[in-house]
Amino acid sequence: MYYALFFLMPFAAFLYASVGHGGASSYLMILALLGFAPEEIRPTALILNMMVSMVAYLNYRKAGVFPMQLFLSLILFSIPAAYLGGTILLNATVYKKVLGFLLIFPVLKFGGVFPISKDEQVERKWWMPPVLGILIGFVSGMIGIGGGIILTPIILMLGWAGVKETAALSALFIFLNSVAGFVGAATYEITVSQELWVLIPLTVLGGALGAYLGAKRFSVKVLKYMLAAVLLFASVKLILS
């Protein structure tokens, strides 16, 4: 089953990076199902998340305007929260199932079941992004993800940024959150086996290809459907975990 990783990990990176995500939630699922030890799974997923999300950010940053003000109001509060969450060892089974069910709604939204007008936008109060950053950062640090699967649908549904701008913002958000979560997790003993280090170049390559196609080749409409597919996959995975 180890050799299945050489296909599964790059494919997951390709799919997630195409919509500006790092893929940590998918890496966690794959490694857990293949029987890797818990102390290896979270750091490995975060390392891969850092690399793939940075590649995605570099591609999407060139493809559109970056919403810097929104990003800063999120990340300045999310980083310390992600670090704090990373220091906590908590059973997140119930949370994952609840999150999985909640993700079904944005899947239906982006799939066109509940279409919204292009002009629809929720007014952004000054306190909203900081609170959102703290909540997503803390939860992300605890379960070993970058937070993109939570942040992206929220920003798009609130109308705070366009699809490609959100992808660029989410990618950098995921990268910095993953770094903070990894540093927090490093307060405990963590290990990454040689078997998993070998997978890193292939996984990053898959992410680079997905990010390139997502940023420069796929239309916005295609990107929304791909995002729906990613969120549906994450939803099912979280419910069954």
Per residue in 128-140, pLDDT (tens digit) is 999 999 999 998 8
First to last CA, the chain: 19
Instruction: Specify the length of the chain in residues.
Output: 241
> Which residues touch 164 (CB under 8 Å, ≥6 apart)?
60, 63, 64, 215, 220, 223
Give yes or no for residue 118 having a pLDDT over 70: no
Sign of the four-CA dihedral 26, 31, 37, 43: negative
Q: What is the mean pLDDT of residues 33-47?
A: 81
pLDDT tens by residue, 85-108: 888 876 657 767 777 787 787 777
Give yes or no for residue 156 having a pLDDT over 90: no
The gap from C-alpha 41 to its chain's centroid, in whole angstroms, comes to: 16
Q: Phi and psi dihedrals of 51, rounded to 5?
A: -70, -50
- Taking the C-alpha atoms of residue 60 and residue 174, their distance in angstroms, rounded to an integer, is 14
The gap from C-alpha 65 to its chain's centroid, in whole angstroms, comes to: 20
What is the CA angle 185-52-50, rounded to 5?
25
Q: What is the pLDDT of residue 117?
A: 46
Q: Name which of 10, 45, 52, 14 is nearest 31 in CA terms.
A: 45
Q: Is 91 exposed, middle or buried (0-12, 13-18, 19+ CB in 10 A)?
A: exposed
Which range, of 190-199, 214-223, 227-236, averages the lowest pLDDT? 214-223
Q: What is the mean pLDDT of the chain?
A: 83
- Taking the C-alpha atoms of residue 125 and residue 82, their distance in angstroms, rounded to an integer, is 23
Q: What is the pLDDT of residue 120?
A: 58
Q: What is the mean pLDDT of residues 184-212?
A: 83
Sign of the four-CA dihedral 159, 163, 168, 172: positive
Q: Name which of 158, 149, 67 is nearest 120 in CA terms.
A: 158
Residue 114: pLDDT band by 50, 70, 90 thresholds? low
Query: Domain boundaries in the chain?
Result: 2-240
- Taking the C-alpha atoms of residue 111 and residue 228, their distance in angstroms, rounded to an integer, is 6
On whether the pTM is more than 0.95, the answer is no
Asked whether the beta carbons of 237 and 82 are under 8 A apart, the reply is: no
Q: Name which of 132, 147, 130 is nearest 50 in CA terms.
A: 147
- Taking the C-alpha atoms of residue 4 and residue 142, their distance in angstroms, rounded to an integer, is 27
Q: What is the pLDDT of residue 211?
A: 87
Higher pLDDT, 236 or 143: 236
What is the CA angle 165-168-22, rounded to 5?
140
Give yes or no for residue 194 having a pLDDT over 80: no
Q: What is the pLDDT of residue 132?
A: 97
pLDDT tens by residue, 66-90: 999 999 999 999 999 999 988 887 6
